[in-house]
Amino acid sequence: MDRPIRETFLPYGRQWIDEEDINSVIRVLRGDYLTTGPFISTFEQELANYVGAKYAVAFSNGTAALHGACFAAGIGEGDEVITTPLTFAASSNCILYQGGLPVFADIDERTLNIDPKEIEKKITEKTKAIIPVHFTGNPAPLDEIYKIANKHDLVVIEDAAHALGATYKQKKIGSKSDMTMFSFHPVKHITSGEGGIITTDDKEYYEKLLQFRSHGITRDPDKMVEDHGPWYYEMQFLGYNYRMTDIQAALGSSQLKKVDEFLNLRKKYVSMYNDGLKEIKDITIPHINKEGSSSWHLYVIRLHLENLTGNRKEIYNALHQENIGVNVHYIPVYLLPYYQDLGYKKGLCPHAEKLYEEIITLPLFPAMTEKDVVDVIKAVKKVLDCYSK
């Protein structure tokens, strides 16, 4: 048997933590606050400044942040919210948490983002919001989406878990929408361990989000019905304990200082992938969005299975045998068993379903080396040569 391309396993994604990050966390551990303290507001302001938003509200994770956005948008029982099936389950679970109904609109096969023409087809009198996802960090067509939203008086909540640092028409993602969510999971552009944030320019959304993440409680005398004294607080609606800790915020703040360096490394490795893979007839490399710049969270190739003797699973396994930790993003959400039990049927979004059978995510993260990228390219060529007709 041939020796694998690599002796050690290369994951598809991994955090990059340095001594500065570690020391930031240590300072919190030696201080007075571990949970909600001064690092939270510092991190929020820094992130808002980075993307060009007025406000930011940090949450314990990206899913909690999306839930908060749905609450602030007023999504409730029976409301319909349109989103893409090509995403992680959190993008639609947040709708269910509020008693709403996720409505899946198919993707554009070229960009892999939600197709505005499909959004328009799915709008009913019950539609309340749209949650576009900037898949892989490639900006969704926001102008077309906002045109639809304005026409039908809909809220737009951008799921930008993949898109910190991405731009659309020279403006950073997070500077335009009603609300935008960023994720700080370890495989994302920066990490706070777990964590998420909502950016917005709307003060009313901002205040709702702050209260929602902390049990629905306020200590603001101007908002309280009564005032028993300086200890008094009021729970005014059913919120959640979705607060980020100061430990997380300190790590996130330290990481944010390096975000542009991380983005430049991702773009460098993408350029290497594009150059090394563009001549392979058995795959399609990612589409480059001319209306913006991707932040390249993921590098997804599409297999031309009609030209190959094996299926995606065989090729996936063969790449793992080469110690290349490829992955698949994503199973269309409505094909998951829970959603099938809710009544969603196969065939709902044929473009997304076909794409799912053909895609593989290659490793991409700042802590990679150029040699790692070369190894991936060699492994892809080796495996596809074995399966090429």
Q: Which of 128, 176, 188, 208 is catalytic?
A: 188
Q: Are 289 and 129 in contact (CB under 8 A)?
A: no
With 0-12 / 13-18 / 19 or more C-beta atoms within 10 angstroms meaning exposed / middle / buried, residue 199 is buried
Q: Which two tokens stand for residue 77?
A: 């029982």
Among 169, 166, 149, CA closest to 157: 149
Task: Give the 3-state secondary structure of residue 59.
Answer: strand
Q: Is 188 among the residues known to form the active site?
A: yes
Among 312, 351, 356, CA closest to 332: 356
Who's near 308: CB < 8 A, 6+ residues apart? 282, 315, 384, 387, 388, 389
Q: What's the sign of the alpha-carbon dihedral 103, 109, 113, 117?
A: negative
- Give ∠ CA 9-13-14 in degrees, rounded to 5: 90
The set of catalytic residues is: 188
